[in-house]
Amino acid sequence: MTAVDPDMSMRTDVAPSTLGVTLKDHGVEVEYLDGRTTLYRGVPEAVSGPLRTGPGKETHVLVTDPTETEGVMMYVNDRKTHEDILEATGVGRVLLDAEEEEELFPGVTVRELSGYRTEVEADPEVARGRVFVFVEDDWSEASYEIVAEADATGGSEGEDVPDDPAGGDADR
C-alpha cells in the first residue's frame, strides 16, 4: 500500500525563482537552484495558438529571458510535489480549478479545461522570451514551443497534444 501525503489536498501556489537554461540541439536543460539539472528531451515542436494537453498530463511551462540563458518555470496543477521541494529548486506552481485561468507571466495564460486538460496560450512578443511547454506522464513526454503564427510548424488554430505523444491517437 502506498502512503498518502495527508497534506496533498492542501497544496498551495508557489512563486518561481530565476533558473539557468541551456538550449541544446537535443532538448532544453534547466538548472535548479539546488544545482541539479534536468533535460527535457527532444527539439520542441513549434506551435502557435493555444496548446491543449491530454487529460491528466503533467504540464510544465518555461519562459526564458531575452538572452535565453535564464528563465522561470511553473508546474500547472501539480499536486504531488511538496512546497519545500519547489522552493528549494526554484520551480513555481499554480493550482487551478476546472474552467479557471491565470496569467502566469505577462503574455502567458493557462486554463484548466474540463476533463483534466490544461490549455496554455502565449504571445512570445509580450512574454519577451521563448515560451516552452513540456507535457508528460509516466509513459510519454513531449516538448513544445509556442511561437508566432508565421514561425509555427504545427497548426495555427490551437494545438491539441496527443494523449500519447509517442505515437498514440492524436485529436488534432
Average pLDDT over residues 142-159: 75
| pLDDT number for residue 63 | 97
| Whether pLDDT at 114 is above 70 | yes
- What share of the chain in percent tops pLDDT 70? 82
| Whether pLDDT at 137 is above 70 | yes
Q: What whole-number distance in Å separates Cα of residue 82 and Cα of residue 36?
A: 17
| Whether pLDDT at 11 is above 70 | yes
Average pLDDT value for the chain: 86
Between 8 and 57, name the one with better pLDDT: 57
Name residue, grid cell 515560451. Answer: 131
Task: Output the CA torsion 111→88→84→102 (10° steps).
Answer: -10
| pLDDT number for residue 15 | 96
Q: What is the DSSP letter of 106?
A: T
Between 158 and 82, name the one with better pLDDT: 82
pLDDT tens digit sequence for 36-94: 999 999 999 999 989 999 998 999 999 999 999 999 999 999 989 999 999 999 999 99
Q: What whole-number distance in Å separates Cα of residue 172 and Cα of residue 150?
A: 19
**Where exactly are the structural domains of the chain?**
13-148
| pLDDT number for residue 153 | 65
Average pLDDT over residues 92-110: 95
Tell how strand 70-76 and strand 58-64 pair up: antiparallel
Element (H, E) at 125: helix 124-127
Q: What confidence category does residue 96 fall into, taking pLDDT thresholds of 50, 70 and 90? A: very high
